[in-house]
Amino acid sequence: MSGSEQTLEQILTLAATHFKVPREKLTADDDFFKTLGIDSLQALDLLTRLEHHFHVELPDYELQGVSDFRTLAQRIQARL
Amino acid sequence: MLDLDQYSCLGAALRDALDRWPNEICLIESDRDKEKTRLTYSDFKEIALPLARALEDAELGRGDRAAIVMTNQSKWLISAYAIFYGGGVLVPLDYKLSAAEHLQLLAHSQAKFLVVEYHLWRAMMQSPEFRKHRVQTVLVTEAPLGADLAGAFRWEEFRRKGDPLFVPRQREDVACIVYSSGTGGRPKGCVLTHENYIEQCKSLTAWYPFWPGVRYLSILPTNHAIDFMVGFIGPFVCGACVVHLRTLRPEFVRDAFVRYRITYVSLVPMVLKNLERGLRAKFEALPAAQRFFLERLIAVNKALTRLHPNVRLSRMLLPQVHKAFGGGLEAIIVGGAFMEPATLQFFYDLGIPVANGYGLTEACTALTVNDLKPFRADTVGRPLPGVELRVMSPDEEGIGEVVVRSPTVMSQYLDDPELTAQTIVDGWLLTGDLGRFNGDGHLQLFGRKKNMIVTEGGKNIYPEDIETAFSRLPVKEYCVFAGDYLWKQRRLGKEMLVLVLRLEQNQEFGEGLRQEIETENRTLPDFKRVGGYFVWDRDFPRTASMKIKREVLAEEIRKAYSAAAVVAL
């Protein structure tokens, strides 16, 4: 598994745990606002959890225009 | 507070504010838990005047348009000050728009200057439309060393020595062009004058005053009409302080309330609901005995503040709740979209007054605000001083279109006399919102007459602005409506856009098409997406120039189907 795939997998697992959604219901290209049933503030909350997990700092604007796990993983991977 | 009757323009009022309270703190900027900037009015002046001089040397003149595309931060206000100082017209753009939309509105406004954060400028540079931009001078903030700025200047270095020339404007001159919507081909640039802003500031501060020592937490985007007024103009002309956060993470927002002992904050419903959710979760996690005790105290507070708020008493009754908000919160200002009464009441019962109101960009900031005499969660308050509101052609329930006449009403839509004439009739602004006055003069809203939605985040979304996202769908024709426009709901909240599809002859709606709709929908920002679709079985009525006759189509759909026909996405 490549680094970016591992990052993606970890994001999916973290999101499933944090928002109490079965992991198997989440896929890389899901619209996480819809799949997780969250608003943009809750998405920022997820970003904070991801920062702690990956030990990176992501400005809020990194989430602007992002709504699927795959792109989110790419943004995080770029800062690892 | 400065006597605003003495001023003909925002630039002069702001200029005098800096001299009136030189030692008061006017700006604090914090990035997460690190404070980055703390400026007195005197410090602000020292930074802003060299920028104003550099803009003057770059030929910013009377009436020249200068756009700002930035998140909330001190450089936003410093730049706006310098633009007004030089007699410029400010064009505040929503930083959440796409780069293509920014470029479109820069072209429409004919902005000669642009102040922009680096990450937003970088996105514009990568847009195919970038080469066409005609902005003469671009100032980029916080650009990394060595970054390619495509000819733009670094904001931090764009300074000149020497006193800048102050350029006075008259009350009727344009102060700002604020886009209420319109990235889908017909931008709605509200042309707002110095008179509009000065009168709005007077009326709002008459009910919700600022004073030196007040700390206003700026969370709503500063380009938004509410934050521009209560997070810049209002505090500055009263010697108060604005606190900016570079992040909207809920944990840092909560922390800022306490760290800076915030006095006022403006929120859109989405953020208020987020706070409510957090508080309710905390209450539920309390041991049963503590929760019982808390509920009794809330009931006592509710009874004692039924007629009017008493923040000091509430702080004594519910100290833990108020400490979580810093202990100095006087009121939460809520606007930008419909807020459920239950949420407003929840906060009021905790002793936190909620100044919910109603306004639209076309009328500067606010038309009505809850005056808390008493608090009425089911209304949007009374008209502010100087605002004449009427309900036009009311039905048997007293509900009709809200129209307004006020010194805060815009002069026109930029370069669109036709739309202006449809919107401002005989001096009355037709709001497109349906309302009714109750017996004691509070306005209640019941839905919209116009084909648009307002999201919980306070964004106005017009169907025309998002339709092009679906242009690749393999269908005969399609259009987007606000769900409540098709089927009148007589309520606000949970508004949704609906995609109406007309299939080709013999075409069947299948899973493939549904997936294509989902894919195209996701090219839009989350707050602009359609919430459902609906297959219509007739050709769309069109004008001679082949434009869809939307009102006719809506009427046909309304007659043939109910809202239950919409399939959720």
For A46, name the nearest residue in chain B, comparing CA atoms only.
B249
For A47, name the nearest residue in chain B, comparing CA atoms only.
B249
Cβ <8 Å between B270 and A39? yes
Are B481 and B402 in a shared domain? no
Task: Tell me which chain B residues have a C-beta less than 8 angstroms from the C-beta of A65.
Answer: 98, 525
Are B96 and B241 in a shared domain? yes
Mean pLDDT of the residues in chain A: 89
Q: What is the nearest CA distance from B223 to chain A, expressed in angstroms?
A: 16
Task: Tell me which chain A residues have a C-beta less than 8 angstroms from the C-beta of B249.
Answer: 44-45, 47-48, 60
Cβ <8 Å between A40 and B98? no
Nearest to B248 among A60, A67, A68 (CB): A60
Please state the domain extents for chain A.
Answer: 3-77
Cβ <8 Å between A41 and B250? yes
For A66, name the nearest residue in chain B, comparing CA atoms only.
B525
Residue B319 has phi, psi (to 5 degrees) of -60, -35
Are B159 and B273 in a shared domain? no
Cβ <8 Å between A39 and B248? no
- Count chain A–chain B contacts defined by CB atoms under 8 A: 45
Buried b (16+ CB within 10 A) or exposed e, A26-57: beeebbbbebbebbbbbbbbbbbebeeebeee
| Helical axes B10-20 vs B194-207, angle rounded to 10° | 50
Q: What is the nearest CA distance from B78 to chain A, expressed in angstroms?
A: 22
Query: Which of B398, B355, B409 is CA-nearest to residue B379?
Result: B355
Are B399 and B491 in a shared domain? no
CATH number of A3-77: 1.10.1200.10
Cβ <8 Å between B274 and A59? no
Cβ <8 Å between A67 and B250? no
CA distance B366 to B384: 8
Contacts of residue A2, defined as CB under 8 A and 6 or more positions apart, other chains included, come to: none
Q: What is the nearest CA distance from B416 to chain A, expressed in angstroms?
A: 30
Residue B453 lies in a domain: no
Q: What is the CATH number of the domain that holds B310?
A: 3.40.50.12780
The helix (run of H) or strand (run of E) holding residue B559 is helix B550-560
CA distance B98 to B94: 9
Q: Which of B249, B272, B523, B529 is the mutation pick for testing A, counting most A CBs within 10 A? A: B249
Sign of CA dihedral B474, B477, B480, B485: negative
CA distance B380 to A16: 39
Structure tokens at B504: 């080709």
Are B47 and B76 in a shared domain? yes
Residue B457 lies in a domain: no
**CB neighbours of residue B73 within 10 Å:** 22
Are B135 and B280 in a shared domain? no
Are B359 and B420 in a shared domain? yes
Q: What is the CA radius of gyration of chain B?
A: 24
Q: What is the CATH number of the domain that holds B106?
A: 3.40.50.980
In this predicted structure, what is the pLDDT of residue B185?
Answer: 62
Cβ-contact B260, B43 below 8 angstroms: no
Are B384 and B287 in a shared domain? yes
Cβ-contact B503, B517 below 8 angstroms: no
Domain count for chain B, please give it.
3
Q: Which of A27, A41, A45, A46 is the mutation pick for testing B, counting most B CBs within 10 A? A: A41
CA distance B211 to B1: 7
Q: Which of B242, B259, B276 is the last residue of a domain?
A: B259
CA contacts within 13 A on the Cβ side of B376: 21
Task: Tell me which chain A residues have a C-beta less than 8 angstroms from the C-beta of B519.
Answer: none
In this predicted structure, what is the pLDDT of residue B527?
Answer: 83
CA distance B175 to B505: 53
Cβ-contact B185, B466 below 8 angstroms: no
Cα B449 to Cα A59, A71, B291, B467, B487: the distances in Å are: 39, 39, 44, 20, 11
Q: Which of B207, B224, B259 is the last residue of a domain?
A: B259
Are B81 and B194 in a shared domain? yes
Cβ-contact B351, B216 below 8 angstroms: no
Are B137 and B217 in a shared domain? yes
CA distance B17 to B406: 26
Residue B456 lies in a domain: no
Task: Tell me which chain B residues have a C-beta less than 8 angstroms from the C-beta of A64.
Answer: 96
CA distance B88 to B80: 9
Cβ <8 Å between A60 and B119? no
Give contacts of A 17-46 with B, CB under 8 A: 31, 33, 39-42, 44-45
In this predicted structure, what is the pLDDT of residue B200?
Answer: 98
Cβ-contact B448, B485 below 8 angstroms: yes
B479: containing domain? 462-568
Contacts of residue B511, defined as CB under 8 A and 6 or more positions apart, other chains included, come to: none
Give contacts of A 41-70 with B, CB under 8 A: 41-42, 44-45, 47-48, 59-61, 64-65, 67-68
In this predicted structure, what is the pLDDT of residue B377?
Answer: 92
Whether the pLDDT of residue A3 is over 90: the answer is no
Are B69 and B169 in a shared domain? yes
Task: Tell me which chain A residues have a C-beta less than 8 angstroms from the C-beta of B518.
Answer: 31
Share of chain A above pLDDT 70, in %: 99
- Per DSSP, A37 falls in state T
For A32, name the nearest residue in chain B, comparing CA atoms only.
B526
Cβ <8 Å between A60 and B526? no
- Partners of residue B482 on adjacent β-strands: B497
Contacts of residue B316, defined as CB under 8 A and 6 or more positions apart, other chains included, come to: none
Cβ-contact B436, B399 below 8 angstroms: yes
For A57, name the nearest residue in chain B, comparing CA atoms only.
B32
Which tens digit of pLDDT belongs to each residue from A15-40? Answer: 999 999 999 999 998 888 888 888 88
Q: Which of B425, B448, B471 is the last residue of a domain?
A: B448
| pLDDT tens over chain B, length 569 residues | 999 999 999 999 999 999 999 999 999 999 988 999 999 999 999 999 999 999 999 999 999 999 999 999 999 999 999 999 999 999 999 998 889 999 999 999 999 999 999 999 999 999 999 998 999 999 999 999 999 999 999 999 999 999 999 999 999 999 999 998 755 667 899 999 999 999 999 999 999 999 999 999 999 999 999 999 999 999 999 999 999 999 888 889 989 999 999 999 998 888 888 889 889 999 999 999 999 999 999 999 999 999 999 999 999 999 999 999 999 999 999 987 788 899 999 999 999 999 999 999 999 999 999 999 889 999 999 999 999 999 999 998 899 999 999 999 999 999 999 999 999 999 999 999 999 999 889 999 988 888 888 887 777 788 887 888 898 899 999 999 998 888 877 666 678 899 999 998 889 999 999 999 998 998 888 888 999 999 999 999 987 767 788 889 999 999 998 888 899 88
Q: Which of B120, B247, B528, B529 is the mutation pick for testing A, counting most A CBs within 10 A? A: B247
In this predicted structure, what is the pLDDT of residue B350?
Answer: 97
Question: Residue type at B454?
Answer: V
Are B494 and B409 in a shared domain? no
Structure tokens at B188: 């709605």
Q: What is the CATH number of the domain that holds B556?
A: 3.30.300.30
CA distance A66 to B523: 10
Measured in whole angstroms, how far is the alpha carbon of residue B83 from the centre of its chain? 21
Task: Tell me which chain B residues have a C-beta less than 8 angstroms from the C-beta of A45.
Answer: 249-251
Residue B564 lies in a domain: yes
CA distance B265 to B333: 6
In this predicted structure, what is the pLDDT of residue B170?
Answer: 98
CA contacts within 13 A on the Cβ side of B416: 21
Residue B253 lies in a domain: yes
In this predicted structure, what is the pLDDT of residue B551?
Answer: 87
In this predicted structure, what is the pLDDT of residue B313?
Answer: 96
Task: Tell me which chain B residues have a C-beta less than 8 angstroms from the C-beta of A39.
Answer: 270, 274, 456-457
